[in-house]
Amino acid sequence: MKMNKTFTRIPQRSYNAFIGRRKVTFDAVMAALSVDPLEAEDAFQLLGTKGVPRSLKDFADRGRSAYWQALETISQWMRYPKSEASDARMAIEVVSYYDQRLSIWLACQAARETLRFRPKNEDVILHLIETTEKSVRTGVSAAERKESEDLFREYTMSFDTAYYASKSIADGHALHSARSAERAFLVDGAPPGTYASASFAGKAVWEAAECAVVPVEGPLWRSSMDAELSRLRGVLADACLSYPVIP
């Protein structure tokens, strides 16, 4: 069976039915992956992308192979430059509406990128990231969550004053990135797939990019941000393949 060259787990027949010459959207890609290629044309005519599995769990219910194919396909979509998401922040927000836990894992990996700049608040940042990663993998206790909150407050009195508490603007962006990843998990009790969670996941990516381009000023800032947000798409794509939640 011939497979698509970009999305290597999707039969070309399914790709033609759901995408063809149309925009390569996330929902269309996941729908094409989910259908029997012999029924793809009828499925598209009947349901369009409305019948797309709405989370990784839907693929997991089909077996471990389907689950890993879904993660691989999401990784390939993350790298695809002509989707509906023009940069890494938009891409992670799209994924958040599909599977919140995956987007939080991706946000943590974006926040980890700030550690290469050796921020002075590295211990706080790393603790926030590791606590959130553990929340995704296995969950954390109330005591562990409180320890994370106390450590953050010890460094800065509130989320909104992170920039001012830092010794440098770059350190502030790094802290904001890690904190945003954590907030994407908490979102004050909001259910998965809400705008709040997607917004915080996107914020984690944006702050990680800002941390990298702090030295750049003036008209070059926008192009530098675009380049970093493009690079972070690759980071997020790789992170899809390291997602530790196994059904």
What percent of the chain is predicted at pLDDT more than 70? 87
| Residue 188, pLDDT score | 42
| Residue 165, pLDDT score | 47
| Residue 189, pLDDT score | 46
Q: Sign of the C-alpha dihedral, residues 101, 105, 110, 111?
A: positive
Looking from the CA of 172 toward its CB, the CA atoms found within 13 Å total 14
| Residue 153, pLDDT score | 66
- Spatial distance between the Cα atoms of 109 and 51, rounded to a whole number of angstroms: 30
Contact 221, 212 (CB under 8 A): no
Residues of the chain with pLDDT under 70: 151-168, 187-195, 247
Q: pLDDT digits over 45-65, tens only?
A: 887 777 777 789 899 999 999
